[in-house]
Chains A and B, each alone.
Chain A
């Protein structure tokens, strides 16, 4: 069983569209994250949720809206997609929060045309 699973694996869409990426973890972890990896492979945190509560919200455009219906799920909705949103988005989880190892999903490659 995959510990952290995200769907879809690939997402190709037009500028201006709205899209969602879903993430689920079956590890029983309390904390989930969204990271963005750019074309230079730099991995940067976007959001963090602890037990459905938003903990970290980096300087991300408000077109990005995370939603955590329960502590095992963290979805990412993106409105009005722009060319610069093209990247690989990773979901991750950790047992509690700080000072712990992260378990990552296999990523969603988003291409905005």
Chain B
């Protein structure tokens, strides 16, 4: 079963700082989804990247898909307390083509 490793596992920063979180796999992704899960809620899709080298922007969030489609990164510029949450990458894989989630990065942005 494909394993999606995310790093760092935990990140605590001050408001206004920049940060990058990573999602890596030993296998090639067909596509990759990024979700954010706020405390007490379910994950919500932020973006899907499909093409190697693709860059997508969502306000202060920049998502990049590796050229070889085995890794992805999420960069947040000028983080705000509202960015606090669990960031999850996910990929369809396995014999039944199910959505497999990464190990997650728990981000806390202090005001």
- Which residues of A come within 8 Å of B, CB atoms? 4, 33, 40-45, 48, 55-56, 58, 90, 92, 97-99, 101-102, 104-107
Min distance, Cβ A56 to any Cβ of chain B, angstroms: 5
Per-residue 0/1 for B72-111: is the Cβ within 8 Å of any A Cβ (1 yes, 0 no)?
0000000000000010100010001111110110100000
- Which residues of B come within 8 Å of A, CB atoms? 30-31, 33, 40-45, 48, 86, 88, 92, 96-101, 103-104, 106
Contact A56 B98, beta carbon cutoff 8 Å: yes
Q: 6 closest A-B pairs (Cβ-Cβ)?
A: A104-B42, A98-B97, A43-B101, A101-B45, A56-B96, A41-B104
State which of B31, B100, B104 has its C-beta within 8 Å of the C-beta of A99.
B31
Contact A106 B42, beta carbon cutoff 8 Å: yes
